[in-house]
A and B are shown apart, each in its own frame.
Chain A
Amino acid sequence: MENVETTLMNKRILTFIVNGKKCEVAVAPNSTLAQVIREDLNLTGTKVGCDMGTCGCCTVIADGRPRLACLTLAHEFEGSRIETVESLNDKTMHPIQRAWAECGGSQCGYCTPGFIMTTKHLLDHNPNPSREEMKEALAGNLCRCTGFVKIYDAVERAAKELRTGAPVVVSPAPDEVRV
């Protein structure tokens, strides 16, 4: 009981701008950004995988840079603008999310929010990345299901759609055509 009281006493009210909305949260000194996003703000799209900075599932964009929410203290982000995967689909799916769904970029889907946020940062800064640039940018995100080829396909498709502004028409692969 004493520990709980100590924790509550040490909490400080911090302000964040999360997905464009101002949020005030009472944050303990040892809370990570991922804990605040998931448990206090209930934005559970951001996942926690390894909790060690290896898998990239918890990636969010803070002040325009991709950051590992599991490995950073929330106190370090006081006043920051934070974008989570929920910021992308207000009413319709974002082109990156659509490309992921159409290319089979996710299977179990647990790593997908992290991949999508890293991809958003990549495409915001480099609208036409090469495969090598994609591999370098996404090296911090791990997927144990897809084998990455479909993920790179999805990044390519999303990049094309974001560049041209027109949805990319998906044509089925020859072995998927049914008569």
Chain B
Amino acid sequence: MTMLLPQFELHKPTTVEEAVALVKKFGSDKSDFLAGGSDLLCNYKWGLNARPNVIALNGISSLHTIEPLRLGACVKLHEIASSETVARSLPVLAYVAKKVASVLIQEQATIGGNALLDTRCHFFNQSYFWRTSLGYCLKADGTRCHVVPKIKRDGQLVENGNECFATNCSDFAPVLIVLGAEYELAGPKGTRKVKASEFYHHDGRARFVKEPGEMLVAIHFPERAKTLTAGYKKLRPRESWDFPSLGVAAAIARDGKGKLEHFALSVNAVDTYPIVFNTHVNQYLGKQLDDGAIDAIAEHVKTTVQPKLTVPMEPGYRKKMAAVFTRRLLKELAV
């Protein structure tokens, strides 16, 4: 059965300036940017926060460029996976691109779309009919959260009508964070760059620190990223398709004696935003990344993350696996 998309007007700008002018004209709450569509159109089919104007970005040629340290927001994942430029400069990105969903999704999904992936939840990513039975949720059409129905305020348990706990399931977000990437944003107030590590918001609805009407133009990497040894581990029910139930990314650089010069660690799909452990792991700079250090870091990750029952696999299992995957990844990088 074909699910019909809600009615909207489609706009096809050919420059970033045109796209920004369109969002300024219609208002950010009445328009959405469309890149690959593998996330947005699914949500639209389910009646999730659909808007009357869709601005398709695929016609903007400057968003499709691949450079050694800059990727346009609309570069498709299969292009990243097969690009020689990416393989030479940042091979971890090609690896991650192949880990996102299936090859058919990789044909249309974009790196910008994955970095800005909408947060996911058992009570949100459902059909309109399904959500009707529960009276909707905080993230779409409703007023209460079904994941954390009550929260403590002033020592008393009260109904949670404010905090959304939907999970950030982007594969690229933690990797871009550990590589030190910056997001180039264009909006009605001009262009600016934001560090990937400071871009994600604690609220599952707001998701990003993006200003209203801002769009992602490109992802920039520092020269340092080329010299890093980076990796990514992903836990998911089906290896061929699923979003991550846990994603761990790390990047290290060592001097001639094997001592750490640079260390970054980020864990995703356990909270509303990718958790950055850079401050904690910085204490290991100048030391060897030995088994003792790896075990201590893995244990710290496990005690820090607080997964909720928002995505497949139980929170307790994902918490334990956060330590297992961190240990495995760091041991691989330390070889």
Flag A39-66 by CB within 8 Å of B: 1 or 0 each: 0000000001001111010010000011
Stretch at the interface among B99-107, B129-137, B141-149, B160-168: B99-107
Stretch at the interface among A15-23, A135-143, A167-175: A135-143
Set A30, A34, A51, A140: member contacting B105, Cβ < 8 A: A140
The verdict on A7 contacting chain B, using a C-beta distance below 8 Å, is yes
The verdict on B12 contacting chain A, using a C-beta distance below 8 Å, is yes
Set A6, A31, A66, A135: member contacting B107, Cβ < 8 A: A66
Stretch at the interface among B1-9, B64-72, B204-212, B278-286: B1-9
Stretch at the interface among A70-78, A87-95, A152-160: A70-78
Contacts of A136 in B (CB 8 A): 103
Stretch at the interface among B37-45, B192-200, B222-230, B245-253: B37-45
Set A7, A54, A73, A139: member contacting B41, Cβ < 8 A: A73
Q: Name A51's closest neighbour in chain B (CB-CB).
A: B3
A29–B34 Cα distance when bound, in Å, is 13
Q: Are B56 and A53 in contact (CB under 8 A)?
A: no
A8–B78 Cα distance when bound, in Å, is 36
The verdict on A10 contacting chain B, using a C-beta distance below 8 Å, is yes
Q: Are B10 and A30 in contact (CB under 8 A)?
A: yes
Q: How large is the interface on B (under 10, 10 to 19, 20 to 34, 35 or more residues)?
A: 20 to 34
Q: Are B104 and A118 in contact (CB under 8 A)?
A: yes
CB distance from A137 to the nearest CB of B (A): 6
Q: Are A51 and B2 in contact (CB under 8 A)?
A: yes
A140 and B102 contact, Cβ closer than 8 Å, known pairs A51-B2, A51-B45, A52-B45: yes
Q: Are B10 and A75 in contact (CB under 8 A)?
A: yes
CB distance from A74 to the nearest CB of B (A): 10
Q: How large is the interface on A (under 10, 10 to 19, 20 to 34, 35 or more residues)?
A: 35 or more
Q: Are A53 and B104 in contact (CB under 8 A)?
A: yes
Q: Name B46's closest neighbour in chain A (CB-CB).
A: A52
Q: Are B104 and A59 in contact (CB under 8 A)?
A: yes
Query: Which residues 97-131 in B have Cβ within 8 Å of A in the complex?
Result: 101-105, 107-108
A72–B101 Cα distance when bound, in Å, is 16
Query: Which residues 32-81 in B have Cβ within 8 Å of A in the complex?
Result: 34, 37-38, 41-42, 45, 54, 56, 58, 78
Contacts of B14 in A (CB 8 A): none
Q: Are A34 and B104 in contact (CB under 8 A)?
A: no
Q: Are A140 and B56 in contact (CB under 8 A)?
A: no
The verdict on A97 contacting chain B, using a C-beta distance below 8 Å, is no
CB distance from A34 to the nearest CB of B (A): 7
Contacts of B3 in A (CB 8 A): 51
> Which residue numbers of B lie inside 8 Å of A, CB to CB?
1-10, 12, 34, 37-38, 41-42, 45, 54, 56, 58, 78, 101-105, 107-108, 240-241
16 more CB-based (< 8 A) A-B contacts, given A67-B108, A71-B108, A136-B103:
A10-B9, A29-B9, A29-B10, A31-B5, A32-B2, A51-B2, A53-B101, A56-B102, A66-B104, A68-B104, A72-B37, A72-B41, A118-B104, A140-B103, A140-B104, A140-B105
The 5 closest A-B CB pairs, nearest first, are A140-B102, A140-B104, A29-B10, A139-B240, A30-B5
